[in-house]
Structure 1
């Protein structure tokens, strides 16, 4: 094999690795000194339906919970194949005591995130 062929194969392998290892992580705000973990949960809707987009609303805090001020929200996509969903804030969020997040899947895919909310 020539050097040119080996270089081409390496380039294709690199591009394939980058494309297949994409995550759709999302974050808002930043951790501040003295912040602690307010909530950690898996947000999942794994019931994949052909050609459908799934969504799931998540509210924090749960009814009757303490009400600390949120400084950082981190949603880590558990899909590593580029088929993860998307996250958006519907209400509240950073510098509020509550947040409502909307998790939306890609067409014909599920939702699988690790959600962490930090504040004090």
Structure 2
């Protein structure tokens, strides 16, 4: 009987610790090949605001004479417990020469992302 109580206590403890962990909000658009080069890296961070949703936009533009085609955009969520924000591709992206990415937090939370853009 004591063994069962001990196992139940361990199971409940593990379940309680795992309950606060959600999935990461990292996202990848497009695909990369061996010839692609790293075009840009940005770290996008916004602090939380009381009872607010914070947003930010990232616009990636290139010189038209030297423009490269985007092949992949990798966005890595630095808040890995499910409390971070979300990233949306609003315009452009893979197979174009520009991208507009919108970042949005959860209410009363902030966010931190690493954005890597690769092109050919």
Q: What is the match of residue 28 of structure 1?
A: 29
Change (3 A) 1:104 1:15: same
Deviation at 1:119?
1.2
Deviation at 1:40?
0.6
Give the match's secondary structure for 2:18: helix
Segments of 5+ residues of structure 1 without an aligned counterpart are: none
Q: What is the match of residue 96 of structure 1?
A: 96
Asked if 1:112 corresponds to 2:116, the answer is no
Give the match's secondary structure for 2:113: strand
Q: What is the match of residue 40 of structure 1?
A: 41
User: 1: distance between equivalents of 2:66 and 2:20?
Assistant: 41
Segments of 5+ residues of structure 2 without an aligned counterpart are: none
Deviation at 1:115?
0.5
Change (3 A) 1:105 1:62: farther
Moved >3 Å (runs of 4+): 62-66
**CA distances 1:53-105 after superposition (whole Å, capped 9, x unpaired):** 01100011266894211111111111122111001111100100000000000
User: 1: distance between equivalents of 2:53 and 2:103?
Assistant: 10
Rg larger in structure: 2
TM-score by length of 2: 0.84
Does the 8 A contact of 2:22 with 2:83 survive in 1? no
Q: What is the match of residue 67 of structure 1?
A: 67
TM-score by length of 1: 0.84
User: 2: distance between equivalents of 1:96 and 1:30?
Assistant: 13
Number of paired residues?
119
Aligned-residue RMSD, C-alpha: 2.3
